[in-house]
Amino acid sequence: MWVLWTMLACEPKEELEGCTMEAKYSVNLTLTDADGNPLENAEVSYTVDGVEGQSVVDSWEAGTYAVGIEEAGDFEITVFAEVPFEDDPCCWMIGDTVISVTVEADECHVIPVSISEELGWSTMCADAETAECG
């Protein structure tokens, strides 16, 4: 009897019809700098339902960030970026934002959410006399 139960418990579960093995990103995020150019090298982190996200944030194209893999729930995405001034090595534009979005799922995958977000920007400068800026 135990052997039969073990065999039944180990049988593969029936695959849902129409589902694929493809993993989908939960949130596709597009970010731009203060001039509207794609934002590279932003620091992006997230939580889902108050718990730190389970996967890394991927970015293959400037300004585009893929957040969460097959994670559903209430996301809080935190973005931080520093963009140096080209003509002043002692100053940076600092951008940040927090995004709240809910990602749902069907019986197969998450239903991806696409967001374009503008960061709040400010300027930070180091004291040129006391800092090495160049």
**Could you give the CA distance from residue 49 to residue 100 in angstroms, rounded to a whole number?**
11
Strand partners, 93: 83, 123
Supply the DSSP symbol for 37. -
pLDDT at 18: 74
Q: What are phi and psi of 35, to 5 degrees?
A: -95, 0
Span 40-72, pLDDT tens digits: 999 999 999 999 998 889 999 999 999 999 999
Contact 26, 112 (CB under 8 A): yes
Higher pLDDT: 112 or 12? It is: 112
Q: Map out the domains of the chain with their CATH numbers.
A: 24-125 (2.60.40)
pLDDT at 12: 42
Span 13-23, pLDDT tens digits: 445 677 899 99
Span 67-120, pLDDT tens digits: 999 999 999 999 999 999 888 889 999 999 999 999 999 999 999 999 999 899
Strands 120-125 and 43-48: unpaired
pLDDT surpasses 50 at 33: yes
CA atoms within 13 A on the CB side of 64: 6
Supply the DSSP symbol for 105. B
